[in-house]
Structure formats: C-alpha cells, structure tokens
C-alpha cells in the first residue's frame, strides 16, 4: 500500500485532475470588453447576374476596428470576419462571409484595411437588386485552453444598387 508505485500513481492522478480543473475554470474569467468597428462601402466594383442564374456583386470595403480589449493572457488568437446579412423572398436569412482575418496578437488588433471582398458575394437566386443589408463584424476568441466565445457588432443601412452594372 505504501510502495513507490502506488504513491507515484496517486500523485500523478491528483496532479492531472487539478490541471484539468484549472483548464476548465479558466473559461470563467471575463475581462472588460469594449470592441469597436466601422465599415464603409467605398465602391461597388461590379454587379452582375451569373450564367447559372445567381446574382453576384463585388465590393471594395474600408474596415476600421479596435479589438484590443478582447485579448487576455489566455487568448491565442482572435478570428475576425465581416459578413453581409440580408433577407430575400426565398430565404429568411442569408449570411455571406466577405472577408476574414486571423489576429494573433494584441498589437495587430487595432487596424484599418481597404480591401475588395475576399469571398464571393453570391446570392441563391437573383434577388440582390435594391437589396438592403447589414454588415456584421464577428469575432471569435480562441483561447490557449478552455471555452471559446464569439460575438458581433451589427452595422445596418447598406444597400445595393437598383440595376446591374
């Protein structure tokens, strides 16, 4: 009962249990989070109906964001992406991701970028003319260990032109 083997075994089990517990409760530490963002549509590059029948639009976006307050000692990276959300007669919700970035450090979390959409903005159908849509900046905090959490800022008031161009 008091051999080396037993003592080593129970010590190891105890140590691993404590480690697992610490990894789990790390998820409950929240800090004061005040991220901010602004997105501007600088230009509608083109807006066409594709041969297979779906509308597609290409935009140039100007994205300004400050996500520094999301970084804690336990943050490995923050994944940020901009999605367009809109409703059509066929679909009650459409979310199309236009751009994303991985932010590995706090210093890179305050940024300004002007870019055309990284992923194609294609509708299921041809409902995009004169469409109002929201642009949402989502962020996904990926920790070094523990629970991941995500949130977003919704910016509304954007719309697409009446006619193809």
* Contacting another protein within 73-132 (CB under 8 A): 76-77, 79, 81, 83, 89-97, 100, 102, 104, 119, 124
Query: Would you state the torsion angle of the CA atoms of residues 80, 135, 44, 124, taken in this order, to the nearest 10 degrees?
Result: 100
Nearer to another protein, 7 or 76 (CB): 76
d(CA 61, CA 44): 9
Q: Is 53 in the site for another protein (CB under 8 A)?
A: no
Q: Is 156 in the site for another protein (CB under 8 A)?
A: no
Q: Is 142 in the site for another protein (CB under 8 A)?
A: yes
For the chain, the first-to-last Cα distance in angstroms comes to 83
Nearer to another protein, 49 or 152 (CB): 152
- Under DSSP, the state recorded for 69 is G
Residue listed under structure tokens 């990276």: 77
- Judged by the rule CB under 8 A, the positions of this chain that interact with another protein are 23, 27, 76-77, 79, 81, 83, 89-97, 100, 102, 104, 119, 124, 138, 140, 142-148, 150, 152
């Amino acid at each position: 009962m008091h051999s080396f083997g037993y003592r080593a075994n129970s010590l190891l089990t105890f140590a691993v249990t404590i480690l697992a517990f610490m990894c789990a409760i790390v998820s409950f530490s929240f800090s004061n989070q005040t991220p901010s963002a602004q997105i501007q549509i600088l230009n509608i590059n083109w807006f066409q109906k594709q041969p297979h029948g779906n509308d597609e639009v290409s935009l140039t976006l100007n994205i300004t964001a400050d996500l520094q307050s999301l970084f804690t000692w336990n943050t490995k990276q923050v994944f940020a992406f901009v999605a367009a959300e809109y409703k059509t007669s066929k679909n009650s919700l459409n979310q199309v991701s236009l751009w994303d970035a991985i932010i590995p450090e706090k210093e890179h979390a305050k940024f300004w970028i002007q870019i055309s959409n990284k992923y194609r903005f294609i509708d299921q159908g041809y409902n995009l003319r004169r469409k109002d849509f929201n642009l949402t900046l989502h962020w996904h905090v990926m920790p070094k260990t523990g629970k991941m959490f995500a949130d977003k800022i919704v910016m509304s008031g954007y719309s697409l032109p009446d006619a193809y161009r």
